[in-house]
Amino acid sequence: MKILIIAAHPDDEVLGMGGTIKKYTKNGDDVKIVIMATGIHSRRSSNYENISNYNADEKTMKKMKKQVTELQKDAKKAAKILGVNDIDFLNFPDNEMDTVSNLEITKAIEKIILQFKPVIVYTHSQFDINVDHRLCYFATLTATRPKSGNLVKQVYSFEVPSSTEWFFPSSFSPNTFVDISNELNAKIKSLELYKNEIEKFPHPRSPDALKAISQKWGSVSGFKNAEAFTLIRELKPKI
């Protein structure tokens, strides 16, 4: 079975569904990860920290360009921990995907779907403070619209800690849960390879927080550890 993950930035795929990815690859399924945006440039800083200035000088921009390459190397290493070798980087502008037409983003996803032919597609939740996450959701929803010959049967959205839970007052409301009790360690190891993205507890993007989140969804679903998803659309054959 072919599974496609549309993630806005490097590490979103691990934060959102690293355990589930590992579960798929252990099962022998074919998983492809697509990272839509660079994940660095919005910081306007060459030291991996966000600063309040919007404009960055040429020297800083050059350094950030190198850091994008380093981040993509980390993403490839993290993907291998999860059993994935097929990962693409589309390099849309970081946290400024709203400067690109929805049509262009949708067409990029449609092209990948046409080539890869996934049965299941995962992407971000629409309930998220990050504009790139929301745009990925809407573009994926359009790119996977039901039509004759469409192989995509299920579309799911996932949460990204440090982004989805801060979309007040609306909230991520999952209806599908995956037991990752045996895959949690791989998820944590994968995240730790993002050496410049990982944070210390109590930040949501930390190993301890990810464990706590998995226990939270596990307690909701009857598992020790779980990842949560919202089923957006499912197409069933005739019953």
Residue 76 tokens read as: 């490839």
DSSP 22-77: HHHHHTT-EEEEEEEE-SSGGG--TTS---S-S---HHHHHHHHHHHHHHHHHHHH
Query: Per mean pLDDT, which range of 6-15, 34-43, 81-90, 163-172 is the poorest?
Result: 34-43
Distance CA 3, CA 78 (A): 17
pLDDT of residue 50: 58
CATH class of 2-234: alpha beta
Question: 229 is written with which tokens?
Answer: 């998803």
Q: What is the identity of the amino acid at 12?
A: D
- Indicate whether 207 pLDDT > 60: yes
The chain-wide mean pLDDT, for the chain, equals 92
Confidence of residue 230 (pLDDT cuts 50, 70, 90): very high
Strands 154-158 and 120-124, bridge-based pairing: parallel
**CA distances for 45 relative to 62, 167, 187, 228, 237, angstroms:** 10, 25, 28, 33, 51
Q: Kindly tell me if the per-residue pLDDT of 237 is higher than 70.
A: yes
Residues 147-168 have a mean pLDDT of 93
pLDDT band at 148 (very low <50, low <70, confident <90, very high): confident
Specify the pLDDT at position 39. Answer: 81
Q: According to the model, what pLDDT value does residue 54 have?
A: 57
Question: Domain map of the chain by residue range?
Answer: 2-234
Q: Comparing 39-48, 151-160, 226-235, which segment has the lowest mean pLDDT?
A: 39-48
What is the per-residue pLDDT for 49?
61
So what's the pLDDT on residue 216?
98
For tokens 């990272």, name the residue.
Answer: 35
Write the CB contacts of 146 (distance below 8 Å, at least 6 apart in sequence).
233, 235
Average pLDDT over residues 87-92: 97
pLDDT in tens, 91-138: 999 989 999 999 999 999 999 999 999 999 999 999 999 999 999 999
The per-residue pLDDT for 40 is 72
pLDDT digits (tens, 9 = 90+) for 11-53: 999 999 999 999 999 999 999 999 999 987 555 455 656 556 6
**CB of 88 closer than 8 Å to CB of 35:** yes
The token pair that represents 123 in the structure block? 């992407």
- Which is higher by pLDDT, 35 or 65? 35
Distance, in Å, from the CA atom of 164 to the CA atom of 177, rounded to the nearest integer, reads 17
Higher pLDDT, 6 or 43: 6
pLDDT of residue 236: 87
Strand 226-234: give its sheet, edge to edge: 86-92, 30-37, 2-7, 120-124, 154-158, 226-234, 176-179
